[in-house]
Amino acid sequence: MADKITVSVVMPSFNEEEAIGRMIESIRENTKDFETEILLVDSSKDRTPEIARQMGAKVIVQPPQGHGVALRTAISSASNDVIITSDCDNTYPMEYIPKLVDLAVNEGYDVVSCNRLTKELGKQMPFTNKVGNTLFATLVRVLYGVKVHDVSTGMFCLRRDAVNKMTWETNYSFPCELILKSARAGLKHKEIDIPYRIRIGEVTLNKWRSGKAYILCIFKYRFNLPINPKKL
């Protein structure tokens, strides 16, 4: 019998005790056919890491430094051949994991990103976020020629050998950097549509700081601008 596909599901977490149990249960339910690692990079002040460990997840604790820094740590710390990224707030559909793994393993995609900005998206995302995210993706399509509709998504599927070909420097705009550098490296990328849910727990994202970082990121890599990575 062939060896099982190995999958790491990695997530940054910050005060997600209301959602983390449901997230881990959903991951377990949708990864039964794989050898699976669940990994959190956590900066919480609540019971998130305790709950995660009790449910069998690995937890790396680090001081709060931003979503992108945590996600970069999570990706680099993953042990398995296929890496799925997600947030811990129950917004992303873990039932899509088998499809993502199939695209990576059987169809050879190095990077698969998940588009939330579909016709079905409603109140799950605030209107100002929809406008900003649509603008960012439009700029990437125009300036880079990358066929993508969501460059701020938190759900990706990455092949380990593709991860090893990239270096990252951003924080608040990390998903955008990942897509842009994948394209520049000539990696095989695909975007798929996913449903998006209303988050469980409080919103911790600073949308204005994040929005500015996305704009700077898009222009920095297109025009080789000397922008300080700490602003990204």
pTM greater than 0.85 (yes/no): yes
Residue 111's closest CA among 147, 68, 139, 82? 82
Q: Any bridge partners for residue 191, and if so which?
A: 113
- Say whether pLDDT at 2 is over 60: no
pLDDT for 85 = 98
CATH for 6-231? 3.90.550.10
- With the C-alpha atoms ordered 92, 176, 140, 191, is the resulting torsion angle positive or negative? negative
Q: Which residues contact 214 (CB under 8 A, 6 or more apart)?
A: 132, 136, 151, 152, 172, 173, 176
> How is the chain split into domains, by residue range?
6-231
d(CA 89, CA 109): 27
pLDDT for 1 = 36
